[in-house]
Amino acid sequence: MRQAYYNGFIYTGKEILKHLAVLMDGYEVLDIVPESAIPEGFQRIDVQGNHIAPGLIDLQIYGGNGQLFSLYPDVSTILATEQYCKAGGALYFQPTIATNEPGLMQKALEAYRQYRDRGGKAAIGVHWEGPFINPQKRGAHVEKYIRPLQKDEAKQLTEHQDALRTLTLAPECCDAACVEILLQAGIRVSAGHSAASYEQARQAFTKTGIRLTTHLFNAMSPLQTRDPGLVGAIFEDPAVYASIIADGIHVHPANIRISKAIMGNRLFLITDAVEESKNEPYIYLRQKDRYVNQEGVLAGSTLTMLKAVAYCVQQVGIALDEALRMASWYPAKAMGMDQQAGLLQPGYHSGLIVFDDNFELLYRSV
């Protein structure tokens, strides 16, 4: 049934509107009209003064509802993660698999194809975080599975561009020609888990063409007095996007605020959320508001995308409309989806969420 959402603050992604209604058909935005002009045949949903926004987009999440993609890369895990994402306001997401043995990482791609072939639309493709990363910046990744990217494997990966949407790698550990093969095939390469020097990072951005970076500040070479590192190169390059984990644990709120002031619409939110696991190779133990591995290394968050938006508003001091863009339009732009998602605009398939002043989800597109 087509629905009309009215009597709320409408955050289109470009402006804030009142006294209007958003007309939806599933995920499709049909129109935004005066409340008095809601057509017949629409289910009228009075949101009672709450907030209406585009569906959020999570480009890095490892699982949800008790399932972990790095251990069980199958359709059931994608579906469980989808339900977790939607309950937290994210209507599109990238199931993410951490550095693993080759067969399991390939299985993740097959699982996505099966999900898609069965009609799944919320998952937009798989994010491989690794295995082509720097062991010095592995974080909670399993070292024995880390390996360099060879040219033959890069060519083989181009055959999976329908499923492999994003690949995080350390540019200093990969030949530029291999990275270019991936980029030319339409796979989005993201620099992360990297100890790249400033010069190496600049080369990767300006010469090789990398335009994405993974969880700013975490597992990357920092900004220092005599080496700006990967962080400095990200700040400086106006074409490079960066994700960030806004939970107060992964990154200090002042660093989020400083980064936002420098990067503007190039900074977007992810959850980096995992699930508790007692099984090798990825043992994740929950400690209140975070997950750690068996060695106590920070391994993931307990975030939802709506919680990340709330943190940015309440703790970082970012305006609500801008925090929502960081969770919708900006990740859409980073993925080349900004002509179809991330905005409440007629013709977009962004979906819609409604939440209250406490950032509790009230309604979402189905």
CATH code: domain of residue 31: 2.30.40.10
- Is 180 labeled as ligand-binding? no
174: containing domain: 56-334
Residue 340 covered by a domain = no
Q: Residue 60 in 3-state DSSP?
A: strand
Asked if 35 and 61 sit in the same domain, the reply is no
The C-alpha atoms of residue 229 and residue 209 are separated, in whole angstroms, by 18
Asked if 299 and 355 sit in the same domain, the reply is no
- Cβ atoms 213, 241 nearer than 8 A: yes
Nearest one of 213, 300, 226, 192 to 259, comparing CA atoms? 213
How many structural domains are present in the chain? 2
Which pLDDT score, from 0 to 100, does residue 75 have? 98
Residue 339 covered by a domain = no
Q: Which tokens in the block code for residue 244?
A: 């960030």
Asked if 41 and 96 sit in the same domain, the reply is no
Residue 245 covered by a domain = yes
Residues 6+ apart with CB under 8 A from 278: none
- Is 250 labeled as ligand-binding? yes
Asked if 134 and 214 sit in the same domain, the reply is yes
Residue 295 covered by a domain = yes
Q: Which of 58, 237, 247, 272 is catalytic?
A: 272
Query: Which single residue is written with the structure tokens 């972990």?
Result: 68
Residues 6+ apart with CB under 8 A from 269: 243, 244, 245, 246, 305, 308, 309, 312, 323, 326, 327, 331
Asked if 41 and 69 sit in the same domain, the reply is no
Please indicate whether residue 31 is annotated as part of the active site.
no
- Cβ atoms 299, 307 nearer than 8 A: no
Asked if 183 and 205 sit in the same domain, the reply is yes
DSSP type of residue 194 = B
Asked if 41 and 109 sit in the same domain, the reply is no
Q: Which tokens in the block code for residue 298?
A: 């920070």
Chain mean position to CA 74: 20
Residue 40 covered by a domain = yes
Instruction: Read off the CATH number of the domain in which 80 is found.
Output: 3.20.20.140
The 3-class SS string of 154-189 reads HHHHHHHCCCEEEEEECHHHCCHHHHHHHHHCCCEE
Q: What is the pTM of this model?
A: 0.98
Q: Which tokens in the block code for residue 44?
A: 């009228």
- Is 293 labeled as ligand-binding? no
The C-alpha atoms of residue 325 and residue 322 are separated, in whole angstroms, by 5
Residue 255 covered by a domain = yes
- Is 160 labeled as ligand-binding? no
Asked if 67 and 28 sit in the same domain, the reply is no
Which pLDDT score, from 0 to 100, does residue 366 have? 86
- Is 218 labeled as ligand-binding? yes
* pLDDT digits (tens), the chain, 366 positions: 899 999 999 999 999 999 999 999 999 999 999 999 999 999 999 999 999 999 999 999 999 999 999 999 999 999 999 999 999 999 999 999 999 999 999 999 999 999 999 999 999 999 999 999 999 999 999 999 999 999 999 999 999 999 999 999 999 999 999 999 999 999 999 999 999 999 999 999 999 999 999 999 999 999 999 999 999 999 999 999 999 999 999 999 999 999 999 999 999 999 999 999 999 999 999 999 999 999 999 999 999 999 999 999 999 999 999 999 999 999 999 999 999 999 999 999 999 999 999 999 999 998
Residue 342 covered by a domain = no
The C-alpha atoms of residue 1 and residue 42 are separated, in whole angstroms, by 7
Asked if 176 and 43 sit in the same domain, the reply is no
Asked if 101 and 219 sit in the same domain, the reply is yes
Type and span of the H or E element at 202: helix 198-203
Length of the chain: 366
Q: Which tokens in the block code for residue 33?
A: 């009209």
Which pLDDT score, from 0 to 100, does residue 1 have? 80
- Angle at alpha carbon of residue 174, lines to 183 and 332, rounded to 5°: 35
Type and span of the H or E element at 329: helix 329-334
Residue 341 covered by a domain = no
- Is 127 labeled as ligand-binding? no
The C-alpha atoms of residue 353 and residue 351 are separated, in whole angstroms, by 7
Asked if 167 and 227 sit in the same domain, the reply is yes
Asked if 75 and 196 sit in the same domain, the reply is yes
The C-alpha atoms of residue 163 and residue 125 are separated, in whole angstroms, by 5
